[in-house]
Chain A
Amino acid sequence: MLTEEDVYKVAELAKIEICEEEAKKFRAEFESIIGYFNLLDEVDVDVEPTFQVLPIKNVFREDIPKKGLSREEALANAKHVENGYFKGPKIVE
């Protein structure tokens, strides 16, 4: 049983502000979706998990210096810019 409190908790972890109406709607939907996920409880096998499908490991490339984005290009999509830097929100409250 999933409560609205659980939904608020998950929203907080995901850093998404939700309103009361959304919490109600998501609670009901999550209950049915997660109920469906619980189908996996039936699976009782001890096999290795597959994180990715290709048999490739530790892919390296030569360490050759290349030109990256210019400062101007990197900042072009940011709304808050100051003295050639990204300006972010306060981290310490």
Chain B
Amino acid sequence: MITIDEWKERLESEKCYDLVCEIYDRIEKSKLNAYITLCKDLALKEAEKYDKGQKSGKLAGIPIAIKDCISTKGIRTTCGSKMLENYIPPFDAHVIENLKREGAIIIGKTNMDEFAMGTTTETSYFGVVRNPYDLSRVAGGSSGGSGACLGGDEAVLALGSDTGGSIRCPASFCGVVGLKPTYGLVSRYGLIPYANSLEQIGPMACSVKDLALLLEIIAGKDERDSTNAGREFKFEYCSKKFKVGIVKEMGGNEEVNSRFEEAVEIIKNMGFEVGEVSMPSFKYALAAYYIIATGEASSNLARYDGVRYGFALEELDSWTKYFSKVRSLGFGEEVKRRIMLGTYALSAGYYGKYYLKALKVRTLVKRDFESALAKYDLLISPTMPALPFKIGELADPLTMYKMDVNTVPINLAGIPALSLPAGFIKSLPVGIQIMGNYFEESKILSFAMDLEKVFKEVF
């Protein structure tokens, strides 16, 4: 894994052009399938500019990978779907504008579950992403490509998006750091939507320090996203011995739990006060999440009509037939499943039973977090309940959905959460999740920074 400091050190004596070529050589030989689209010509041109001293900014000359649901002007953006296989956005997402302003070099667009719907990147139209630590296993999802490219030295930074754990899961499975920011901290302008009220673009990196810097750059005010909080983010390290709560309802299998318990002991030994909290609403959080997410998806994905952009048929038929055929051929199975589940949950007669009830559970989840975070500065849990799965291991959709049990409550409440590597079990990475209050990313990052140092020595 390459940190910004390591990259910059090499830039002192080597050409950015050569270093970027080295990255592409690695990608071209790679078996990870982390990228859908590479923009080599563009990236090498930018690297040349850096070598001529024509690039400035906090990320000048630093290679970054972008999840393929984030719009990049002139660069194909597929969302991992046949529906958008040939779609070239005519504009940049807010976060891309910010990255370009800071001189970052975009290496390519990373592989992902189709429309970000999945936990393993197995639903991608462009094939599964493989885990950098074991090619027979998944890299997690839905931002699987963004996790794997960092784990496999195919980029220095990456952007992902997180609707129910899609940054934290691949971060955990690929041994990197990933953060789902507070809802509204990062503009969603240019993010191809799946479930608007839950999702955020977020940073992924090889160190907490790099993660903090990337968050500073992508966060901020943007009037093109009406749910943007209008706040900037500046990381301020805080050495305080935080009060840390273990969430009783968030756990894992035996292997994951035993590592988590070891981590808790370390945290105690570092002088942090550790207690336990119970969140009774979490029993219902997963069901509520899937009702809300699929409901929003069913409405969001109605835009894919095969007329203005996206997959289209040769012949225009009557409206209903054309629309139904385009969507039948353009969407993969998981996307169809979620659109239909959402359609069902929102249909006449079921709105109160499912959707409205789910929104009420969301209020309960939010309240549980608010009362826990009144007592504790931060909360912790395992990120994922299991180690990276074998490819094809989770064939049943409901079994797959249940793997999101520790990550979805965070999106329902809109609070920030980070996944930090806590070493390896049987040579596979494992992560712990650190949650904090709204807009308190600095606390989470400070704590993660302290832990990162110790974990690296111990695990």
Q: Which residues of A pack against B, CB within 8 Å?
A: 6-7, 10-18, 22, 26, 29-30, 32-34, 36-37, 39-43, 45, 47-54, 56, 59, 61, 69, 73-74, 76-80, 86-91, 93
List 19 A-B residue pairs with CB atoms under 8 Å apart, sorted by A's residue number: A14-B336, A15-B324, A16-B336, A18-B328, A22-B336, A29-B398, A33-B341, A42-B284, A47-B363, A49-B363, A50-B359, A53-B183, A53-B197, A53-B413, A54-B227, A54-B414, A77-B90, A80-B307, A88-B319
B2: Cβ under 8 A from any A Cβ = no
B309 at the A interface (CB under 8 A): yes
Quick check: is B318 within 8 A (CB to CB) of the other chain?
yes
A57 shortest CB reach to chain B, Å: 10
The answer to whether B287 touches A10 (Cβ under 8 A) is no
Specify which chain A residues have a CB less than 8 angstroms from the CB of B291 in the assembled complex.
37, 40
User: In the complex, what residue of chain A is closest to B310 when comparing beta carbons?
Assistant: A77
> With a CB–CB cut-off of 8 A, which chain A residues contact B325?
17
In the complex formed, the residue of B with least CB distance to A32 is B398
Q: Are A16 and B316 in contact (CB under 8 A)?
A: no
Task: Assess the A45–B340 pair: CB atoms within 8 A.
Answer: no
Q: Chain B residues with Cβ under 8 A from A86's Cβ?
A: 307-308
Q: Does B258 contact A (CB under 8 A)?
A: no
Asked, given contacts A33-B290, A86-B307, whether A76 binds B90 with beta carbons under 8 Å apart, the answer is yes
A-B contact count (CB 8 A): 168
**CB pair A53 B357 closer than 8 Å:** no
* 5 closest Cβ pairs, A-B complex: A53-B414, A49-B359, A77-B309, A79-B312, A17-B328
Q: How far is the CB of B201 from chain A (nearest CB, A)?
A: 16
B339 contacts across to A, CB distance below 8 A: 14, 16
Chain A contacts for B331, CB-based, 8 A: 16
Are A40 and B197 also in contact (CB < 8 A) when A15-B323, A54-B183, A56-B184 are? no
- Complex alpha-carbon distance, A17 and B340, angstroms: 11
* Inter-subunit contact B328/A33 (CB<8 Å): no
B12 within 8 A of A: no
Tell me the complex Cα distance, A85–B324, Å.
Answer: 22
Complex Cα distance A11/B396, Å? 20
Contact indicator per residue, chain B 231-253, by CB within 8 Å of chain A (1) or not (0): 00000000000000000000000
Contact of B284 with A39 in the complex, beta carbons under 8 Å? yes
Q: Which residues of the other chain, B, contact A76 by a CB distance below 8 angstroms?
A: 88, 90
B375 in contact (CB, < 8 A): no
* Cβ-defined contact, A61 with B223, below 8 A: yes
Separation in Å of the B139 CB from the closest CB of chain A?
25
**Interface residue? B356 (CB, 8 A):** yes
- B residues less than 8 Å from A51 (CB atoms): 197, 359
B interface, over-half SS: helix
Chain B contacts for A89, CB-based, 8 A? 307, 316-319, 321-323
Cα separation A91 to B357 with both chains bound (whole Å): 36
Question: What's the minimum C-beta distance from B216 to chain A, rounded to whole angstroms?
Answer: 20
Q: Which one of A40, A78, A91 lies within 8 Å of B319 (CB-CB)? A: A91
Decide yes or no whether B226 CB sits under 8 A from chain A: yes
- In the complex, what's the smallest C-beta–C-beta distance from A7 to chain B, in angstroms? 7
Contact B360 A15, beta carbon cutoff 8 Å:
no
Complex CA–CA separation, A78 to B353 (angstroms):
40
User: How far is A20 from B122 in the complex, measured between Cα atoms in Å?
Assistant: 24
Confirm or deny: B104 has a beta carbon within 8 angstroms of a beta carbon on chain A.
Answer: no
Q: Given contacts A39-B283, A90-B317, list 7 more A-B pairs with CB under 8 A.
A: A10-B347, A14-B327, A16-B336, A49-B359, A73-B90, A79-B312, A89-B322
In the complex, what residue of chain B is closest to A79 when comparing beta carbons?
B312
Most chain B CB within 10 A, of A12, A32, A40, A56, is at A40
User: What residues of chain B lie closer than 8 Å to A14, measured between beta carbons?
Assistant: 298, 327, 336, 339-340, 343
* Chain B window 168-194, contacts with chain A (Cβ cutoff 8 Å), 1 for yes, 0 for no: 000000000000000110000000000
Question: In the bound complex, do residue B307 and residue A54 qualify as a contact, i.e. CB atoms below 8 Å apart?
Answer: no
CB-CB under 8 A from B396, the residues of chain A are 29, 32
Pairwise interchain contact B357-A43, C-beta atoms closer than 8 A: yes
Residues A36 and B361 in contact, CB atoms below 8 Å apart? no
Query: Which residues of chain B (73-104) have a CB below 8 Å from chain A?
Result: 86-88, 90-91
CB <8 Å contact, A15 and B356 = no
Q: Across the interface, do A30 and B341 meet the contact criterion of CB distance under 8 Å?
A: yes
Q: Which residues of B contact A36 (CB under 8 A)?
A: 287, 398
Residues of B near A40 (CB, < 8 A) are 284, 287-288, 291, 353-354, 357-358, 361
CA distance A89 to B340 in the complex (A): 23
Residue B320 is within 8 A (CB to CB) of chain A in the complex: yes
Q: Is the CB of B307 within 8 A of A88?
A: yes
- The interface residues of chain B lying within 8 Å CB-to-CB of A42 are 284
Which of B344, B357, B397 is within 8 Å of A10, CB to CB?
B344
Nearest chain-A residue to B306 (Cβ)?
A79
Docked pose: A79 CA to B339 CA in angstroms: 24
A22 to chain B, nearest CB (A): 8
Contacts of B354 in A (CB 8 A): 37, 40
Checking B87, B318, B344 against A30 with a beta-carbon cut-off of 8 angstroms, the contacting residue is B344
Chain B residue, CB-CB nearest to A35: B398
